[in-house]
């Protein structure tokens, strides 16, 4: 399964549950045009500049699990996808401070992990 499809499937199934909420965390770059004050996918105006958004290494999905408000993070990867060093470091930081994080390669893995952390949907 390709990562984008898995991400969509996980978000659709787990976006909102009885005791948790999960949202998409986008990271990347875009071309921001100062002339019309929006992001373009191509150079349309001479007054554009590259803008970074999000935090490099952050998981694809983040949320909160209650009661207690624990950080809940899910990184989606294709079956042959590799966790980058930036991602591994970010995941370690989440765990160090008491958050929950996992890497899933299928919707079944996501279901098992969510059950394991006590999520109800």
Mean pLDDT of the chain: 90
Choosing among 3.40.1350, 3.40.50, 3.30.420, 1.10.287, the CATH entry for 3-25+60-116 is: 3.40.1350
**107-116 vs 3-14: helix axis angle to the nearest 10?**
40
Domain boundaries, the chain: 3-25+60-116, 27-55
Average pLDDT over residues 92-105: 98
What's the pTM value of the predicted model, to 2 decimals? Answer: 0.84
Q: What is the pLDDT of residues 62-74, one digit of tens each?
A: 999 999 999 999 9
- Residue 87 dihedral angles phi and psi, to the nearest 5°: -65, -45
Whether the Cβ atoms of residue 25 and residue 60 lie closer than 8 Å to each other: yes
- The tens digit of pLDDT for each residue in 31-56 reads 777 777 666 665 666 677 778 889 99
Half-sphere exposure of 38 (CA within 13 A, CB side): 5
Q: Is residue 110 helix, strand or coil?
A: helix
């Amino acid at each position: 399964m390709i990562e984008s499809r898995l991400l969509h499937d996980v978000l659709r199934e787990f976006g909102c549950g009885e005791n948790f909420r999960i949202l998409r965390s986008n990271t990347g770059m875009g071309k921001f045009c100062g002339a019309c004050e929006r992001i373009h996918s191509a150079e349309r105006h001479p007054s554009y500049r590259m803008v970074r958004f999000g935090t490099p290494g952050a998981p694809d999905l983040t949320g909160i699990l209650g009661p207690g408000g624990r950080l809940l993070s899910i990184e989606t990867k294709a079956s042959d996808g590799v966790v980058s060093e930036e991602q591994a470091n970010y995941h370690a930081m989440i765990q160090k401070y008491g958050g929950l994080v996992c890497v899933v390669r299928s919707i079944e893995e996501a279901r098992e992990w969510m059950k394991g952390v006590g999520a109800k949907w």
